[in-house]
Chains A and B, each alone.
Chain A
C-alpha cells in the first residue's frame, strides 16, 4: 500500500474531510439564511440607511455591499462565491453598530474567553464525572451511590442558565459569598494581559461563575453515564480473565475497567461540546461574560447582522473543530477505530 492510499484510508484523514465538508455546508446555509430569509438583514439595513441618513437606494446599497463585503448587483451564485472567497481570506465583513470595525477583529476579542471557559469546564466536568462514576459503580447500591446518583439526576435536569441564576442568587445575593458585580466581564479594567499572577487570577475570578455553572450542569450526566458504562464493562469477560491472570486490582480498575468504560462516553463528549458552546449564549448572558455567546446575544439584540453571522459561524466552526479533536483522541484510545477503518 503506498502512502497516498494509506492517507486516504486513514481515520484522521476521513474525519478531517468530514469536518471540512460540514464547515462548508454550515457556511452555505448561513449565507442563504442571511440573503434569502424574509426580511433579510441586507434589505433591512438598506432601508435603515435610506430612512435614517436620507441616502438614495443606490447609495444605501453600496454602503451595505461594503459592509457585508458583497457585490449586491451580481447574480446570487457569484455573490455566494465571493462570500466564500472572502471567508477563506478571513474577511467576514464589518460591524453595523461599531462602524467600520472588522467582524474578524471583534471575534478575535471574544472567542478566546469562550474557548477558555468552556474548555476548562469540559475538562473538569469530564474528569470529575468519570472518577465519581467509576467509584459509585464499584460501590453500587450503597449509600454513596444513591446520594451521588440522585444529586446527579437533579443536576442534569436543571437548565444551565437557570442554574446560573440560582448560583447568582445563592452565592452572590443571599450568602454574599462572592462580589457579583466585580466578577462581571472577562477581566477587570486596568489589568494588563500577560503572564502575571495578577492577570491570571483575575481571569479565573471572572470565569469562575460560568465555569462553575457549566461544570455543575454537566457533571451529573458524566457521572451517570460513566456509572452505567462501568457496570457494563465490569460484566465483560476480559475483566474476569484479567482476575484469573492474577492481575492486581488497581491495574484491572484502571486499564481494564476504566479505560474501556470511557470509550462509549466519547459519543456524548462531542454532543456535549456542541451543547456547551451553544449554551454559552445563555450562560454568558447571565454572567455578562463577554465571549462569543454574549456577542451572539448582543449582536442579535442590536440587529448587527454581519457580527451575528460571523459569531454564529465561528461558534459552529469551533464545535466542529472540537468534535474533530475529540474524535482523534477517541481514535487514539480505541485501537479498533484506527486500524479497522470502520466507525
Chain B
C-alpha cells in the first residue's frame, strides 16, 4: 500500500508541484486542462446544434454564435465543444499503445542488454527509418479504419520506435545508478526492481513521452482524416477541417471562423502539450536549464 502511495506521488503529485514553478509550463498545463474539460464535460453542458438553418449559412462570429456558423448554418462553437472528445480519445489510446510498446521494449533492451538489446534496437532502427505518415496512409488503404480503437491501435503500432530508443537510453543510464545496483545486490527480483525502482524513477520521463506521443497521434490522425483516408463520422475536429476544406471554406471571408476554429483548437492543444512537456523536461533535466 505504501508502495502504491509512493507510486502515485511520483506519477501525479511531484510533477504538479514542479510544474507550478514554471510560468509557461503552468500556462500550458492549465490550457491542457481547459481543453480536456471542455471536450469531456462540455458536451453535457452545451447541446450540439444539429438544426440546418439555410438562412444562416457561413455567418461570422456574433454574440449568438461566438465562432460563427458552418455551411449548413449550424453553430460552430457547439461543434468544437463536441468535436474534441473523439480526437483526444484516439490520441490518448494511440499514445497509450505506443508508450506501452516503447516502455516494454525500451526497458527490456536497456536492462537485459546483449543480444536481446541488439535485436530490439535493430528492429527499432529499421521501423524508425520508414516514414510514418506514408506507412499509415498505405495501411489505411487496406484496412478500413472506421473504428476509433482500431485507428488508435494502428497509430500506436507505427509510432513506438523513437520512444523506445529514448526509453532505452534512460534505462541504460538508470541501470548504472547506485540504488539499482543496491537492489540487484539485495536480489530483489527483476520485476520488483522494474516496478518499484525503475518505473517510478522514469515516470516523469514517460509522462513527457506520453504527451509527445499524443501530439504525434493527433498529427497523423487529423492528417489521415484530411486526406479522406479514414471513413470516420460524427463530431470530430479533424472531420470539421476536412469538411470545411472540401467545401472551399478557405475562400470566403465569412466562412473563415468555420475552418479556423478546429485548426486553432488543435494548435492550442499541441502548443499546450509542447509547453507543458518542455517545462517538465527543463525540470527533470538540469542540463537543459538556463545557465545563469
- For the complex, what is the distance from the CA of A15 to the CA of B228, rounded to whole Å? 38
Q: Which bucket holds chain A's interface residue count?
A: 35 or more
Is A340's beta carbon under 8 Å from chain B? no
- For the complex, what is the distance from the CA of A320 to the CA of B132, rounded to whole Å? 13
Interface centre among B139, B218, B250, B260 (most CB of A within 10 A): B250
Partner of B250, one of A141, A154, A165, A308: A165
Partner of B226, one of A156, A161, A309: A161
In whole Å, how far is A227's beta carbon from the nearest beta carbon of chain B?
10
Known A278-B134, A281-B227: A157·B270 in contact at CB below 8 Å? yes
In whole Å, how far is A98's beta carbon from the nearest beta carbon of chain B?
18
> Which chain A residues border B223 with CB–CB below 8 Å?
159, 161, 279, 281-282
- For the complex, what is the distance from the CA of A228 to the CA of B287, rounded to whole Å? 9
- For the complex, what is the distance from the CA of A21 to the CA of B125, rounded to whole Å? 11
Of residues 273 to 313 in A, which have CB atoms within 8 Å of B's CB atoms?
274-275, 277-279, 281-282, 285, 293, 296-297, 300-301, 303, 305, 308-309, 311-312
> Which chain A residues border B125 with CB–CB below 8 Å?
18, 22
> Which chain B residues border A300 with CB–CB below 8 Å?
137-138, 140-141, 227, 229
- For the complex, what is the distance from the CA of A281 to the CA of B271, rounded to whole Å? 23
> Which chain B residues border A320 with CB–CB below 8 Å?
129
> Which chain B residues border A174 with CB–CB below 8 Å?
253, 256
> Which chain A residues border B141 with CB–CB below 8 Å?
300, 303, 305, 308
- For the complex, what is the distance from the CA of A172 to the CA of B248, rounded to whole Å? 13
> Which chain B residues border A150 with CB–CB below 8 Å?
24
- For the complex, what is the distance from the CA of A300 to the CA of B224, rounded to whole Å? 12
Of residues 13 to 48 in A, which have CB atoms within 8 Å of B's CB atoms?
18, 21-22, 25-26, 29, 33, 37-41
> Which chain B residues border A228 with CB–CB below 8 Å?
288
Q: Judge whether B290 and A141 touch: CB under 8 Å.
A: yes
Q: Judge whether B219 and A297 touch: CB under 8 Å.
A: no
Is B266's beta carbon under 8 Å from chain A? yes
Is A9's beta carbon under 8 Å from chain B? no
Contact sample, A vs B, 30 pairs, CB 8 Å cutoff:
A18-B125, A22-B126, A26-B126, A140-B291, A141-B290, A153-B24, A153-B271, A156-B274, A157-B274, A159-B222, A166-B260, A169-B250, A169-B256, A169-B260, A172-B250, A224-B278, A231-B290, A234-B291, A274-B128, A274-B129, A277-B134, A279-B133, A300-B141, A301-B227, A308-B138, A312-B134, A316-B129, A316-B130, A316-B131, A319-B129
- Residues of A with Cβ closer than 8 Å to B? 18, 21-22, 25-26, 29, 33, 37-41, 140-141, 150, 153-154, 156-159, 161-162, 165-166, 168-169, 172-174, 224, 228, 231-232, 234-235, 271, 274-275, 277-279, 281-282, 285, 293, 296-297, 300-301, 303, 305, 308-309, 311-312, 315-316, 319-320, 323
Q: 4 shortest A-B CB distances, which residue pairs?
A: A278-B131, A157-B270, A157-B271, A278-B133
